[in-house]
């Protein structure tokens, strides 16, 4: 669906290296987190088990535990060093579990999660069908899903500056809201609601944006990216192009953020499998008394 592939090993290494610096650069992630938490108001029942997918250093997991103190909150991330940092936020009154795992291969049993929360994580997944199939698999019937991700307008200024420098790929690509909604519906998620917002961060110089991206582990992980060093001359040309975009003396960086929520399908509603087939799940109680003809 995405038309491009991401190097998951590259992503894991980048976030692992950024674990200790992440919270020095996560101002946007915190703002989007506050918006995503407002989405939880649509969930009228108190969840017993909450999965925070792509938990990073665990700030969101701690907020979820604070909101649902009686729930089991699981912080899951691809990068183990991120989960090691998350231990600082897992205090005795807001203790949550930390589990390493991939979004398209969740190490959880079927229909065991009441709420799945994911803040600015799924842009690092290039197989939305597999991602949402896993979400549907682990969600209980009627379970609640709330997520945020980046849209294609993200880092448009940086992309334009590089386009004036060379024709190589330097900035990652992101899917739009319509692709995301189509994938959610195809997986069987019910009544998805999606919104788009634009945020603009400003910097004294373009290099400060680059430091933020590196500190977050926000790597360019497209398999089609140019390998090897960029070179000082091309880097300087890109900075010169970016300098032309100053507004009121500051360098802008646009982030398009898509937020969404939906509900898990009811028992028995077929879900698509990776092989293209469909599987419907029923409890043993519902199957008792049935006969094969």
Element (H, E) at 261: strand 251-263
Amino acid 126: pLDDT: 87
Tokens read off for 123 = 């842009």
Q: How far is CA 212 from CA 68, 132, 147, 287, in A?
A: 32, 30, 23, 54
pLDDT-derived band of residue 1, with 50, 70 and 90 as boundaries? very low
Q: What percentage of residues in the chain have a pLDDT greater than 90? A: 74
Q: Which of 95-104, 198-207, 278-287 has the lowest mean pLDDT?
A: 278-287
**Above 60 in pLDDT, residue 274?**
no
pLDDT at 281: 54
Q: Is the pLDDT of residue 66 over 90?
A: yes
Determine the pLDDT at residue 79: 96
Domains of the chain, with CATH numbers? 8-275 (3.40.50.150)
- State the pLDDT confidence band at 2, using cuts at 50, 70 and 90: very low
142-155 mean pLDDT = 97
What percent of the chain clears pLDDT 70, i.e. is strictly above it? Answer: 86
In this prediction, residue 273 has a pLDDT band, given cuts at 50, 70 and 90, of low
| pLDDT, average across residues 177-205 | 96
- 275 pLDDT above the threshold of 80: no
Is 70 exceeded by the pLDDT of residue 151? yes
**Is the pLDDT at 257 greater than 70, yes or no?**
yes
The reported pTM is: 0.87
Rounded distance, CA 251 to CA 262, Å?
A: 36
State how beta strands 49-53 and 72-77 pair.
Answer: parallel
Q: Does the pLDDT at position 195 exceed 70? A: yes
Dist CA 59 CA 41 (whole Å): 19
Instruction: Give the CA distances from residue 285 to residues 134, 278, 290, in Å, rounded to whole numbers and listed in that order.
Output: 24, 22, 10
> Given pLDDT bands bounded at 50, 70 and 90, which one contains residue 166?
confident
User: Quick one: which of 253, 249, 242 has its CA closest to 161?
Assistant: 242
Give the confidence band of 272 by pLDDT, cuts at 50, 70, 90. Answer: low
- The residue whose two tokens read 């019910």 is 190
Q: 143 pLDDT exceeds 60?
A: yes
Q: Output the average pLDDT for the chain.
A: 88
| Confidence at 291, pLDDT banded by 50, 70, 90 | very low
pLDDT at 215 over 90: yes
Residue 65 CA to residue 166 CA, distance in Å, equals 47
Distance CA 252, CA 22 (A): 21
Q: How far is CA 86 from CA 62, 80, 167, 288, in A?
A: 9, 10, 39, 44
CB 18, CB 215: distance < 8 Å? yes
- pLDDT, one tens digit per residue, over 5-40 is 888 888 899 999 999 999 999 999 999 999 999 999
- 16's enclosing H/E stretch is helix 8-18
| CA torsion angle 216 119 12 185 (round to 10) | -140
């Amino acid at each position: 669906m995405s038309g491009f592939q991401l190097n998951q090993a590259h992503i894991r290494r980048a976030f692992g290296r950024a674990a200790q610096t992440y919270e020095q650069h996560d101002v946007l992630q915190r703002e989007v987190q506050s918006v995503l938490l407002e989405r939880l108001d649509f969930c009228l029942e108190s969840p017993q088990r909450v999965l925070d997918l792509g938990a990073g250093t665990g700030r969101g997991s701690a907020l979820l535990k604070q909101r649902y103190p009686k729930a089991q909150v699981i912080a899951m991330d691809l990068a183990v060093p991120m989960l090691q940092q998350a231990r600082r936020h897992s205090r005795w009154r807001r203790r949550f579990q930390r589990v390493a795992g991939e979004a398209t291969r969740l190490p959880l049993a079927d229909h065991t999660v009441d709420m799945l929360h994911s803040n600015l994580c799924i842009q690092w997944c290039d197989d939305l069908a597999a991602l949402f199939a896993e979400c549907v698999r682990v969600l209980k019937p009627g379970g609640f899903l709330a997520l945020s991700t980046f849209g294609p307008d993200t880092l448009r200024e940086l992309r334009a500056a590089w386009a004036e420098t060379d024709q190589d790929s330097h900035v990652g690509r992101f899917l739009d809201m319509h692709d995301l909604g189509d994938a959610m519906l195809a997986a069987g998620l019910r009544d998805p609601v999606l919104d788009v917002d634009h945020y603009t961060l400003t910097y004294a110089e373009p290099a400060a944006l680059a430091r933020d991206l590196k500190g977050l582990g926000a790597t360019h992980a497209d398999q089609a990216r140019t390998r090897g060093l960029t070179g000082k001359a091309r880097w300087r040309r890109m900075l010169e192009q970016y300098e032309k975009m100053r507004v009121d003396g500051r360098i802008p960086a646009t982030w398009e953020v898509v937020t969404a929520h939906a509900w898990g399908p009811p028992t028995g509603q077929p879900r698509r499998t990776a092989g293209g087939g469909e599987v419907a799940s029923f409890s043993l109680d519902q199957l008792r008394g049935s006969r094969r003809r």
